[in-house]
């Protein structure tokens, strides 16, 4: 069964550094998402992306965050200048284009900001 893959599985960075989290969504999927889960808290929506543009974003997704689909397969989340509170598990997800199609999640990237 096709799956969403995320790299790296764990990323450690220093505060103020830029990080790029990478995702390869399922190949015939058209909608892409980033969610995050701070340790001990809920999984939270960050952003959705369709047709090469952001379709929705949460209040968490401020100017420090950006997303990109640089080629036909990758979907990236960039954090420009990381803060301690950005430490979390970041999940990428994708889905097909019919209403209510379920999200397929990757295994996540654990980001640790020191």
Partner 1 sequence: AQSVTQPDIHITVSEGASLELRCNYSYGATPYLFWYVQSPGQGLQLLLKYFSGDTLVQGIKGFEAEFKRSQSSFNLRKPSVHWSDAAEYFCAVGAGSGYSTLTFGKGTMLLVSP
| Positions that interact with partner 1 (CB under 8 A) | 4, 6, 31, 33, 35, 41-45, 48, 50, 55-56, 91, 93, 95, 97-108
Compute CA distances 111 → 1, 54, 87, whole Å: 27, 23, 5
Q: Which helix (H) or strand (E) holds 89?
A: strand 88-95
Tell me whether residue 72 or residue 100 sits nearer to partner 1 (CB atom): 100
Tell me how far, at minimum, the Cβ of 42 lies from partner 1, in Å.
Answer: 5
CB of 24 to partner 1, least distance (A): 13
Minimum distance of partner 1 from residue 1's CB (angstroms): 11
Torsion region of 101: left, alpha or beta (phi above 0 gives left; psi -120 to 50 gives alpha): beta
Name which of 33 and 82 has its Cβ closer to partner 1.
Answer: 33
Task: Report the nearest approach of partner 1 to the CB of residue 41 (Å).
Answer: 7
Between 79 and 93, CB nearer to partner 1: 93
Of 14 and 41, nearer to partner 1 (C-beta) is 41
What is the phi-psi region of residue 108: left when phi exceeds 0, alpha when psi lies from -120 to 50, beta otherwise? left
Q: Which of 48, 17, 5, 3 is nearest to 114 (CA)?
A: 17
């Amino acid at each position: 069964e096709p799956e969403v893959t995320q790299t790296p599985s764990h990323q450690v960075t220093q505060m103020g550094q830029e990080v790029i989290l990478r995702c390869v969504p399922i190949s015939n999927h058209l909608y892409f998402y980033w969610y995050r889960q701070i340790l001990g808290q809920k999984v939270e929506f960050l952003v959705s992306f369709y047709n090469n543009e952001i379709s929705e974003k949460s209040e968490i997704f401020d100017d420090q965050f950006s997303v990109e689909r640089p080629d036909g397969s990758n979907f990236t989340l960039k954090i420009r200048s990381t803060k301690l509170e950005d430490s979390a598990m970041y999940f990428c997800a994708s889905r097909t284009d019919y209403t209510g199609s379920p999200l397929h999640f990757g295994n996540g990237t654990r980001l640790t900001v020191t």
